Structure 1
Amino acid sequence: MKTILFNALGLFLIILIGYGLKRLNLLSKADGNTLSKIILNVTLPAAIVVNLASLTIQVSLFSLLFIALILNFFMIGIGAFFSKKSSVTEQEFMMYSVSGYNVGNFTLPFLQSFLPAAVPLLAMFDMGNSIMLAGGTTVTVDKIVGEKAPISLGGIVIKLLKSVPFSAYLLMLILRSSGTSLPQSLVEMLQVIANANTFLSMFMIGLYLELKLPKMSYSLVLKTLGLRYAFGLGLFGLFYLLPIPHDMKLVLCLLSVAPIPTFSVINSVKAGMSEEVVGITSSASFIIGLVFMTAGLLIIGI
């Protein structure tokens, strides 16, 4: 229990350091954008390769890919149902914000610091999650609000293949399915890069953290976060009670209360929602997610 709490506090301290340096004007949100590019294109792919280097392919792993798709569609539906009387912009914001799971920049580094053995399960879930974040969610949201979906199936595939983390997932899945192993010397070199992923991810969150919001927007933010985490806790309880393997139970429970993904933030802004509202909602979800995921570890155990 002490290990879990101290590790979680360590992650929170990194977030606070990033936020503190931004408040002191030593760094800015623009530096967070730079870190994001480094994480998505360097440290996260390295972490994926290292964690999946000895992956044993099991049929049960593929169920996580389909669970990710189902959960995304389910939460989009929840957002649509509870925002049907709102403006189109608020409907889209609600659907983007209550669905999707922040894996690469939060759940993976979080779980990596506690239970690296569960990362392969998380990776398979994220493949399904990435399909939705790369375009599946946008197409679904546009259909619900009556707009013409601008992204085709081919467009989604191309967008996925341009994603370095998804390509790393796909490459390792192909290699391990064929029984091919990477040279140990290469894995050890990548391990050095992968070790930086957790720190950089948490530090980036600190740089992005926003605590200012126009008063008129409080109700929308509270409703959005309330929906995401009310149903997230419900899913947590469901997965906790299901008779499934411990590591799968742990991964699904933690993902149920994970923060809002970056793609959802980008899509909400594109839909016309103000950056301030999107920023505070995303920032609050990081803090709430960290608290709930830590509590989840304490409840389930590692």
Structure 2
Amino acid sequence: MSSFNHQFLYSIIIIALGYLLKRTNFIKERDGEGLSRIIFNLTLPALILVSFHDITLDTSLVLLIIIGLVYGLIMGAVGIFIFRKQEQTTKGMLTMMVPGFNIGLFAYPLVEGIWGSKGIQYFGMFDMGNAFIVFGLIYVIGAYYSDSSSSLDVRTISRQMTQSIPFMTFIVTIFISLASIPLPEALIETANIISVANMPLSLLLLGIYLNFTFEKGYLKLIMQYMAVRYLIGIVAGAGLFILLPFNDMFKYTVLIGLILPSSMSALPYAVEFNYDRRFVGTVTNMTIIISFLLMWLIANFVI
């Protein structure tokens, strides 16, 4: 138990450091864009390569992909129903943020610190299903309800997915592993060195993007959104935790996976589709705080 608490404490310190650096103007929030590109295009793919190059798939791992995908589709439908009476752009903005999780930036550094590469493998499989939601469904919802002229064709959606280096690294690495194709030892060792930077950089970036201010007019919509996202996530996660007959790591992945923060992809989509980017940023920040507290409670009272 103490190792879990130590990991959360170290994470809080690094996040707080990132926030402090921003508040004291040593780092600007816009600097986070460059750091984000380093994480998603270098350190995170390196971590995925190290964790998945020798993976052996079993039923539980494949089921995590299905859960991540199916749950996202269900939540998309729930969001459309719950927010159906909202004005069109508000409905699109809220519904777009209901499905999809922030796994790469938020979950991986905590999971790596607590469970190591085994945890990354389980959450990575869940993330694979989640990727189809983040780069497919969320984009479709955002484009459909927006006033912009963004294209909704299959080519555009496919490009969204293939341009994600972490997602393509998942696909290629798992294919190589299943085909029993050996990778050069130098490549694995180099990736291992680079992957070490993923956890601190990701936590620093969370701190840089953290923001505690929001307009009071947002409060009602925020409360509705949080109720939809977390009440369903907690009930569904607890139900699958109890009912599914797999190992503890699988159960923890599902339980924690369904209460993770909203996807960071909502921010660039909000810009592309002319939604209220300040609202989207506020909600995304709040889900990070709520999910962090929920993970700490699960780590102390369930795991």
Kindly indicate whether the alpha-carbon contact (under 8 Å) linking 1:131 and 1:156 is maintained by their aligned counterparts in 2.
no
**How far has the Cα of 1:7 moved from its partner?**
0.6
- The 1:209–1:146 alpha-carbon spacing in structure 2 relative to 1, beyond 3 Å, is closer
CA distance in 1, matches of 2:138, 2:16: 32
State the one-letter code of the partner of 2:199: T
**How far has the Cα of 1:228 moved from its partner?**
1.1
**How far has the Cα of 1:59 moved from its partner?**
4.3
**How far has the Cα of 1:83 moved from its partner?**
0.9
1:246 to 244, 248, 252: 248
Q: How does 1:243-282 map to 2 (within 5 A)?
A: 243-282=245-284
State the one-letter code of the partner of 1:110: L
Aligned to 1:237: 238
**How far has the Cα of 1:60 moved from its partner?**
3.8
My pick for the range that moved more, 39-48 or 176-185, is 176-185
Deviations 1:171-196 (CA, angstroms, capped at 9, x unpaired):
11111111123233321221111011
Structure 1: gaps (5+ residues) = none
Q: How does 1:100-249 map to 2 (within 5 A)?
A: 100-116=100-116, 117-140=118-141, 150-242=151-243, 243-249=245-251
**How far has the Cα of 1:154 moved from its partner?**
3.3
CA distance in 1, matches of 2:278, 2:215: 8
- The 1:22–1:131 alpha-carbon spacing in structure 2 relative to 1, beyond 3 Å, is same
Aligned to 1:27: 27
Aligned length: 301
The CA RMSD over aligned residues, in Å, is: 2.1
Structure 2: gaps (5+ residues) = none
- The 1:89–1:140 alpha-carbon spacing in structure 2 relative to 1, beyond 3 Å, is closer
CA distance in 2, matches of 1:24, 1:187: 38
State the percentage of identical aligned residues: 26
My pick for the range that moved more, 181-190 or 69-78, is 181-190
**How far has the Cα of 1:37 moved from its partner?**
0.4
Aligned to 1:12: 12
**How far has the Cα of 1:149 moved from its partner?**
8.0
Aligned to 2:54: 54
Aligned to 1:84: 84
CA distance in 2, matches of 1:235, 1:93: 24
State the one-letter code of the partner of 2:47: A
CA distance in 2, matches of 1:254, 1:281: 19
State the one-letter code of the partner of 2:73: F
Q: TM-score by structure 2 length?
A: 0.92
Kindly indicate whether the alpha-carbon contact (under 8 Å) linking 1:139 and 1:150 is maintained by their aligned counterparts in 2.
no
Runs of 4+ more than 6 Å apart: 144-149
State the one-letter code of the partner of 2:119: A
Aligned to 2:39: 39
My pick for the range that moved more, 219-228 or 147-156, is 147-156
